[in-house]
Amino acid sequence: MNLGNALIVFRKELRDMLRDKRTIRSMIIIPVVAFPALFLIVGWTMAKLSGEANKEASIVMVHGGDDSPKVLEALRGAEGIQVVPYQADARQKISDNKIRVLIEIPEGFDSSVSGSHPQKVVIDYFQGDMKSESARDRVQKFFDDYRESLARAALAARGLPISLLEPFTVDAQNVAPPSKVGGAILGGWIPYMIIILCFTGAMYPAMDLTAGEKERGTMETILTSPVSRTDLVIGKFLMVVLASVVTAILSLVSMGISFAWSKKTFLHGADVPQMSIDPSAVAAVMFLLLPVAVLFASVLLAVALLAKSYREAQTYVSPLVFVVIMPAIIGAMPGVELNWKTALIPILNTSLVSKDVIAGNYHWGLIAAVFAMTCVYAAIGIGAAVRMFNREDVLFRV
């Protein structure tokens, strides 16, 4: 191998790629413009929806309670709840989003609550519907408060202290630092995102530099030059790895900034856990994923070279997306953990080790093993790509 020749090829491919509008689109514009836009839209929509749900009163129907004017009175006066007259198809109306919940008040509610027969109020709601669930919570809170006020009144009437009602309180506190909370919540998804981005970033250039060249007739031109096929594939391979890594880094930075910004702007004051991601852990994950990017680049080059045209290459490469996504998703799932067996499975192992690193857990033995294993897979990938470029039947498939 002659590195100088490989670098000549690399420099030419880089210049060529930077002039290609499609590369610029997939490598730079999509990560830098599309991701922030996506976060902006999602953040804005979520903020708007939850704001609306908070502001507007929940329309509810009440069934029964004709003999319990007190509770009905209190309910009508409750904040955020608007009682409309009962209709027989109330449950259907909930499903149709016409009303939010139906409150079923048992017979003799008012008289029995002050006595000793516990009564049961039923709230019918639409599970999964945000506005209905919000109405359910309001009604639930109303009855909790109502129950407490009745209990307080009863205690006061008997001259008993109110502390009887609440002999103690329970308070759950988070003791993990924000970086660990962030690691636990997002830890699995960051490597997943990087893996997918590395792959998609490598896809287009890998197809363009192999099948695309065959289709345009420039492959034969370059094969008549003295550059060896190994140098040629190494030059192309360096370009694909660069595209893959640049896409991943640009996307990550852009996502990080837009995530932080949309959290601050739209979810300000909302009940969001205090979390942060340690940038050095993300950098460590990028490093761990470098051999994965190498593996992707080499496998994509080898596979795309089989095709005669860019279009044909797409049909070969598209199914590979699933091959990559599956282990990445499994790795992102909670409960799947790194051990000496999972350390052998490519992509999954890096995904798992990255999850640990982002959560702040450094198992150095496993990290080294995973990195070494992935380097071995990457080397096999490069070998396969070089072999493919030396096969006449692949280069000149008619």
Partner 1 sequence: MIEARELGKVFNNKKRGEIRAVDSVSFSCKPGEIYGLLGANGAGKTTTLRLLATILSPTSGGATVAGFDVVREPAKVRAHIGFLSTATALYDRLTASETVEYFGRLHGLDSATINRRMSEIFKALDMDEFRDRRCAKLSTGMKQKVSIARTLVHDPQVMIFDEPTNGLDVMAARAITDFIRQCRDQNKTVIFSTHVMTEVEKLCDRIGIIHDGRLRAEGTLDELLARYRSNNLEEVFVKVSGDGR
Stretch that binds partner 1, among 76-84, 153-161, 218-226, 279-287 (CB under 8 A): 218-226
Alpha carbon distance 262, 258 (integer Å):
6
- Interacting stretch for partner 1, rule CB under 8 A, among 144-152, 174-182, 224-232, 303-311? 224-232
From 20, 104, 137, 312, residue interacting with partner 1 (rule: CB under 8 A)? 20
Six-digit token string for 335 = 């409960």
Q: Is 227 in the site for partner 1 (CB under 8 A)?
A: yes
Q: Which is nearer to partner 1, 215 or 278 (CB)?
A: 215
Q: Say if residues 357 and 278 touch (Cβ distance below 8 Å).
A: no
Cα torsion 226, 231, 232, 235: sign: negative
Q: Which of 8, 59, 155, 394 binds partner 1 (CB under 8 A)?
A: 8
Determine if 210 is a binding residue for partner 1 (CB under 8 A): no
Does 12 engage in binding with partner 1 (CB under 8 A)?
yes
Q: Which is nearer to partner 1, 15 or 55 (CB)?
A: 15
Pick the stretch among 3-11, 56-64, 125-133, 302-310 that binds partner 1 (CB under 8 A). Answer: 3-11
Integer Cα distance of 349 and 355 in angstroms: 10
Q: Are 196 and 372 in contact (CB under 8 A)?
A: no
Interface segment toward partner 1; rule CB under 8 A; list 15-23, 75-83, 305-313, 318-326:
15-23
Beta carbon nearer to partner 1, 48 or 311:
311
**Which strand ranges, in their side-by-side order, compose the sheet holding 101-105?**
81-84, 58-64, 101-105, 122-124
Chain-centre distance of CA 340, in angstroms? 27
| Residue from 66, 144, 220, 337 binding partner 1 (CB under 8 A) | 220
Strand partners, 116: none
Q: How far apart are CB 395 and partner 1 at their closest, in Å?
A: 8
| Per-residue interface string for the shown chain with partner 1, residues 366-395, x marking contact by CB under 8 A | --------------------------xx--
From 92, 149, 221, 318, residue interacting with partner 1 (rule: CB under 8 A): 221
Structure tokens at 203: 């896809």
Find the length of the chain: 398
**216 interacts with partner 1 by CB under 8 A:** yes
Range list of β-strands (E), 276-388: none
Which residue number, 100 or 214, has a Cβ lying nearer to partner 1?
214
Tell me how far the alpha carbon of residue 328 is from its chain's centroid.
Answer: 12
303: tokens are: 């596979």
Nearer to partner 1, 236 or 355 (CB): 236
Residue 25 makes contact with partner 1 by CB under 8 A: no
Alpha-carbon distance of 263 to 261, in angstroms, equals: 5
Closest CB to partner 1 among 8 and 246? 8
Q: Look at strands 101-105 and 122-124 and give their pairing.
A: antiparallel
* β-pair type (58-64, 81-84): parallel
Q: Which helix (DSSP H) or strand (DSSP E) does residue 295 occupy?
A: helix 279-305
Residue 230 CB, shortest distance to partner 1, in Å, is: 11
Query: Is 225 among the residues that bind partner 1 (CB under 8 A)?
Result: yes
Nearer to partner 1, 116 or 224 (CB): 224
Task: Write out the two tokens for 131.
Answer: 């506005």
| Helix or strand (DSSP H, E) at 63 | strand 58-64
Minimal distance, residue 21 CB to partner 1, in Å = 10
Stretch that binds partner 1, among 14-22, 193-201, 271-279, 289-297 (CB under 8 A): 14-22
Residues touching partner 1, count (CB under 8 A): 23
228 binds partner 1 (CB under 8 A): yes
For the chain, report the end-to-end CA distance as a whole number of angstroms: 29
Does 314 bind partner 1 (CB under 8 A)? Our answer is no
Say if residues 140 and 109 touch (Cβ distance below 8 Å).
Answer: no
CA atoms of 20 and 240, how far apart (whole Å)? 14
Site residues for partner 1 per CB under 8 A: 5, 8-9, 12, 15-16, 19-20, 216-218, 220-228, 392-393, 396
